[in-house]
Amino acid sequence: MLFFIALFLVSRGYGGALQFASTTQRVDAASDTKFVESAFAFKNVSDQTVHIKNADAGCTCMGVGFEDKKLTYAPGEGGVLNARFKVGSYQGKVTKPIHIWMEGDAENRPSYVVNLEVFVPVMIDVNPKSVRWDLGDKRTQTIVVTMDYKKPIHVKKVKTTNEAFGTELVTVEKGRKYEIRVTPKVVDTPGLTVIQIETDADVARQRVQQAFGVMRSPK
Smallest distance from the beta carbon of 57 to other proteins, in angstroms? 8
3-state secondary structure of 187: coil
Give least dist CB 205 to other proteins, A. Answer: 7
Shortest CB 78 distance to other proteins, Å: 25
Contacting other proteins (CB under 8 A), which of 90, 122, 164, 203?
90
AA letter at 10: V
The reply on whether position 194 binds other proteins by CB under 8 A is yes
**C-alpha span between 160 and 157 (Å, rounded):** 10
DSSP symbols for 121-186: ---EEEESSEEEEETT----EEEEEEE-SSS---EEEEEES-TTEEEEEEEEETTTEEEEEEEES-
Measured distance CA(142)–CA(126) in Å, rounded: 11
Note whether 218 binds other proteins by CB under 8 A.
no
User: Do 116 and 82 meet the contact criterion of CB atoms below 8 Å apart?
Assistant: no
> Quick one: which segment of 23-31, 44-52, 105-113, 169-177 binds other proteins (CB under 8 A)?
105-113
Residues that bind other proteins (CB under 8 A): 1, 4-5, 8, 12, 34, 56-61, 86-90, 94-97, 99, 106-110, 128-130, 132, 161, 190, 192, 194, 196, 205, 208, 210, 212, 214, 216
